[in-house]
Amino acid sequence: MNITIASPRSKKTICEVTVDPSSTVADLKKKFAQQKKVGVERQRFSFEHPTKGMVVLSNDKETLSNYGVTTNTTVLFKDLGMQISWTLVFLAEYAGPLFVYPIFYFFSRQIYGFETPKTFVQDVALICYSLHYIKRILETIFVHRFSKATMPITNLFKNCIYYWGCTSMVSYFVNHPLYTPPAALNQYIGFGLWAFGEIMNLVCHIQLRNLRPAGSNVRKIPRGLLFEFVSCPNYTVEILAWLGFSIMTQTLTSYLFTLLGAGQMYIWACGKHRNYKKEFTGKDGSPLYPKNRKIIIPFLL
């Protein structure tokens, strides 16, 4: 069958590609790469489905016919730009805080001009902050399975600026020689919330990993534990962990970092929740995704 490939903005035809009805999205990308010399990792295709609206051809192993692409379909092409490995981006953005945060802890005299003995909370905060990003790095290497191998290289700079910059902001005030620890109760409550959030975040990531066999793009409805209440509990408990860190350290910049992260994770969670509801539907269009499951806050939001 002949498929017309067009620009998403002007709808101007770029080229026509001939494929078999049983061809996959990967086959389409290879054909397009041969004609237009655009690497397959930079290609993103979508089309207007008669009933589902705009559909992105996100699974390279799925057949075009299963997506609903026919010989009369106009497929829209978007160039994703220069790409970089998801794993490399994650490792770079998470490694930075492991080096940045300790600078303010160990070099107080050079940074602030004087130093005082570190408090117990400052010692624990260093350990908690470091363990969080060590966990992130280990999860990137051993736990996470990415549906896409690459992302735009611009994300590397944006992500590193965010994580490294926020770490400097938090560490500067937590490790300041004039820092005053909060009450002991705040320290215990904050540390407890942090520990619970970190452990449950790891549990959620392992649950997500087990949904997708290695080397596949299989997607299933997440089940079990916190997934029965919200679509993205990994975000829920990560926000809880940073809230705990903020309560434990009681600094404005820690709360600000928590708020920034929560806002971004809420946006991601809304997108994932929307995609789950859109993707998991029966052949008759009936919803298969649990209708009472919230986005990120159990029973509320």
pLDDT at 52: 79
Provide the CATH topology of domain 2-81.
Ubiquitin-like (UB roll) (3.10.20)
pLDDT at 176: 97
pLDDT at 107: 97
Q: Exposure of 106 by Cβ count < 10 A (0-12 exposed, 13-18 middle, 19+ buried)?
A: middle
Phi-psi region of 251 (alpha: psi -120 to 50; beta: other; left: phi over 0): beta
Q: Containing H/E element for 15?
A: strand 13-18
- Ranges of each domain in the chain: 2-81, 84-279
- In the DSSP assignment, the letter for residue 299 is T
How many beta carbons lie within 10 A of that of residue 237, not counting itself?
Answer: 22
> Amino acid identity, residue 36?
K
pLDDT at 215: 65
Backbone angles phi, psi at 83, to 5 degrees: -110, 160
Per-residue pLDDT of 220-276, as tens digits, reads: 899 999 999 999 999 999 999 999 999 999 999 999 999 999 999 999 999 999 989
In the chain, which stretches have pLDDT less than 70? 215-217
pLDDT at 57: 86
Structural tokens at position 92: 């770079």
**Structure-token match 């209440």, residue found:** 229
Q: What is the pTM of this model?
A: 0.84
pLDDT at 216: 66
d(CA 79, CA 44) in angstroms, rounded, equals 7
pLDDT at 191: 98
